Structure 1
Amino acid sequence: MTAAVHDSPVVLDRRDGPYGEVALRRHGTLLQIIANGCFLMDTSDGRSERLLVDAAYDALDGRPEPKVLIGGLGVGFSLAHAAADSRWGRITVVEREPAVIDWHRHGPLAEISAGALGDPRTEIVRGDLVAFVNETSDTFDALCLDIDNGPGWTVTDDNHGLYAPAGLAACARVLNPGGVLAVWSAEPSPEFEGTMRNAGFQQVRTEEVPVARGVPDAVHLGVRPG
């Protein structure tokens, strides 16, 4: 009986956010984020989130201290990895769920992100990423987006537009010439590669990270023309 209880997820916090219910669970040693009953991510691995950041940097043209916009704070792997790399310049993270930000600043997820949040290069923006890329006057050298399970599996319906031609055009608008768009996905999407090419991105490709079971995680990459 004790083992069964230990193996069951324990809800550490549950809140009604602007887009529905979000919960933070602990399952053994893992922390998990659940949105409206849908599993989003956990702290089990982080390889693909780190690849998201590294692949974006590698696709740049060697410019000094490039500015990166990270879409989605999540469990903090992407932010922590970017902040651990002194080559990045300003690091801006857009996160729409106040609870997620709070779990990083004052809760259990601080074990991953505390150092990154204390980095003077880091700025956390509370807001919707789709609205941000449509409204900001700022520009970046890299966009690393991880707000859904992929272009075909969005957390909320209004995120679909981000992966459509108009959404990709908005992403291109906030990228400096030669800047890189990197999009995380729970599975490779040849259709999305085609949409990126049709939107004008160059050097479009997909990098994959094998997982224990099922299809690999993927990072879709494209470069805004110079």
Structure 2
Amino acid sequence: MIPWVHLDTGTVPGEDSTLRLMRRGDEFSIVVGTIELMNNRLSASEKALANLVCERLRGRPRVRMLIGGLGMGFTLRAALDDLGPDAAIVVAELVPAVAAWARGPLSHIFAGILDDPRVDLRVDDVGRQIRLKPAQYDAILLDVDNGPEGLMRRENDRLYGVDGIGQARAALRPGGILGVWSQGPDRMFKSRLERSGFAVEEVRVRANGGSGRRHVLWIAARTGGVQPDARRGASRSSRPRLGRAAAG
């Protein structure tokens, strides 16, 4: 068997966690500790996140989208394939090393998508990008950390709590879509979305299309009117942390 080779290490800003980029032949993996976060052979659910959201945006001119988490670029590539030439996509990637790998050892996987004029890659916290101004996006796609439970960075939990959901809703235009990737189900998170003024569809997609574990995607459409009071009930899931970070 071909052994894994450690190519590089990336530091997560403000945290003790580090990411390692590994290679085995033509297979690449991003890991934290002993947990694999991303693999170039397992990309079906990341692509589906973009496909399902873009399907609901069909017919809208000049779509503006925010993607949280660059990963290996699978969500970004799928969005570029689905959206028109007048679209604009901001990608927020927290870890500088992940952005550097996209133009370095993973450049053949990205195959030039970062040079697409529709793409604006920002090495920044996606939460800060969401809060920049209201009603700025037609869609926000979050493929950050483990999903509603943060593995690498506790700050990520705020994205999926009541305040974070409210900020995402405020950043969406009327009828905008919030798409969220997760390694598994979370009933409390789905309930928070619904109480926060979203019509929610939950979709399960296998990691590798027809095989592998099932990941969960929430496709949440912003409904009209004033945001309801979503503070009733638990603000976040109490499941133990496990899974993934720096996805895309």
- Output the TM-score relative to the length of structure 2: 0.81
How far is the alpha carbon of 1:62 from its aligned partner?
A: 2.7
Please give the residue correspondences for 1:31-42 in structure 2 after superposition, counting only pairs within 5 Å: 31-35=28-32, 38-42=35-39
Identity of aligned residues (%): 34
- Between the two proteins, the alignment pairs up a number of residues equal to 218
The question of 1:171 aligning with 2:168 is answered yes
Give the corresponding residue for 2:181: 184
Structure 2 Cα separation of the partners of residues 174 and 155 of structure 1 = 25
Give the corresponding residue for 2:196: 199
If asked which structure has higher relative contact order (CA below 8 Å, sep 6+), I would say 2
AA matched with 1:101: A
Give the corresponding residue for 1:151: 148
How far is the alpha carbon of 1:114 from its aligned partner?
A: 3.2
User: Could you report, residue by residue, the CA deviation over 1:29-53 in whole angstroms, capped at 9, with x for unpaired residues?
Assistant: 2211123554211111211111111
SS at match of 1:108: coil
Give the corresponding residue for 1:98: 96
AA matched with 1:127: D
CA contact (8 A) 2:135 2:173 kept: no
Please give the residue correspondences for 1:1-226 in structure 2 after superposition, counting only pairs within 5 Å: 3=1, 6=2, 8-18=3-13, 19=15, 20-35=17-32, 38-60=35-57, 62-87=59-84, 89-105=87-103, 107-136=104-133, 139-202=136-199, 204-211=200-207, 212-214=211-213, 216-226=214-224
Structure 2 Cα separation of the partners of residues 53 and 41 of structure 1 = 17
User: Could you report, residue by residue, the CA deviation over 1:28-80 in whole angstroms, capped at 9, with x for unpaired residues?
Assistant: 42211123554211111211111111111122363123111110000111111
Per residue, is there more helix in 1 or in 2?
1
How far is the alpha carbon of 1:213 from its aligned partner?
A: 4.5
Moved more, 139-148 or 78-87: 78-87
Structure 2 Cα separation of the partners of residues 17 and 165 of structure 1 = 24
How far is the alpha carbon of 1:108 from its aligned partner?
A: 1.9
SS at match of 1:191: helix
Structure 2 Cα separation of the partners of residues 79 and 24 of structure 1 = 20
How far is the alpha carbon of 1:22 from its aligned partner?
A: 1.9
SS at match of 1:58: helix
Compared CA separation, residues 86 and 201, structure 1 to 2 (3 A): closer
RMSD: 1.9
Structure 2 Cα separation of the partners of residues 168 and 159 of structure 1 = 12
Structure 1 Cα separation of the partners of residues 150 and 94 of structure 2 = 18
CA contact (8 A) 1:80 1:115 kept: no
Structure 1 Cα separation of the partners of residues 170 and 121 of structure 2 = 21
User: Could you report, residue by residue, the CA deviation over 1:96-133 in whole angstroms, capped at 9, with x for unpaired residues?
Assistant: 1110000112x121112232111100000111112221
Q: Which runs of 5+ in 1 are unaligned?
A: none
CA contact (8 A) 1:60 1:178 kept: no
Moved more, 173-182 or 17-26: 17-26
CA contact (8 A) 1:187 1:218 kept: yes
CA contact (8 A) 1:79 1:113 kept: no
- Output the TM-score relative to the length of structure 1: 0.88
Structure 2 Cα separation of the partners of residues 95 and 221 of structure 1 = 21
